[in-house]
A and B are shown apart, each in its own frame.
Chain A
Amino acid sequence: KNEVEQSPQNLTAQEGEFITINCSYSVGISALHWLQQHPGGGIVSLFMLSSGKKKHGRLIATINIQEKHSSLHITASHPRDSAVYICAVRSGGSQGNLIFGKGTKLSVKP
């Protein structure tokens, strides 16, 4: 079993829809990251969180430590949000390296 599981693997949405991507993990963590990988391949960090909720523009990330679960929400989705969204965790005993999920490929249609 993978230590970090994301769902769904693929997601197609219409422009304007509210989107949720889920991440579950099985290890103890010190932090959870959400990353965005553009179609061209570049990877950008969106959020790092260890508790609660963070918001940046139309993106909201939440984490429930007890349930070992995090969600990434996108409000009013737009075709430019089309990308692969990757969840990654830093386990409690690591030196800083991350354990990655396989990613969720999001396509937003106009």
Chain B
Amino acid sequence: DAGITQSPRYKITETGRQVTLMCHQTWSHSYMFWYRQDLGHGLRLIYYSAAADITDKGEVPDGYVVSRSKTENFPLTLESATRSQTSVYFCASMKGENIQYFGAGTRLSVL
């Protein structure tokens, strides 16, 4: 299907475990982003990527790792999950300096 998809949609894990959230887009958009959304905060940028093999930190990168070996994929890894990483995670893509297209989100609970 065309568009931007996130998987899984829901994930429960335990503290200390490694978790990878997947993001896949079919438009060949150059830019991709990972945000987290928490009550009392707006969406906050974790990492972004301007192109394959180019990534950069956002506002809240600590505890997260990203990679972008292919244009269409931008996985987000929590190397050792903590309770404070319980959140809803959104991936987005953007062509040039245009609007951003968001995935449906992944709801992550760290117990």
Contacts and interface: CB of A to CB of B under 8 A. Distances in A.
Interface of A: 2, 4, 30-31, 33, 35, 41-45, 48, 86, 88, 90, 95-103
Contact of B97 (A31, A88, A101, A103): A31
Contacts of A101: 42
Nearest to A2: B42
A96 B42 contact: no
B58 A97 contact: yes
The DSSP consensus for interface residues of chain A is strand
Contacts, number: 56
- Of listed A2, A95, A99, residue having the most chain B CB within 10 A: A95
Interface residues of B, number: 25
A45 B99 contact: yes
B105 A42 contact: yes
A59 B97 CA distance: 22
7 smallest CB-CB distances across A and B, nearest first, come from A100-B42, A43-B102, A45-B99, A100-B43, A102-B42, A96-B31, A48-B99
Contacts of A44: 102
Contact of A96 (B35, B94, B104): B94
Interface string B79-111: 000000000101000100111111011010000
For A2, A43, A99, the residue with the greatest tally of chain B CB atoms inside 10 Å of its CB is: A43
Given A30-B97, A33-B100, A45-B101, A95 B50 contact: yes
B74 interface: no
A78 B90 CA distance: 27
B56 A95 contact: yes
A42 B102 CA distance: 8
Contacts of B107: 41
Nearest to B48: A97
A61 to B, nearest CB: 12
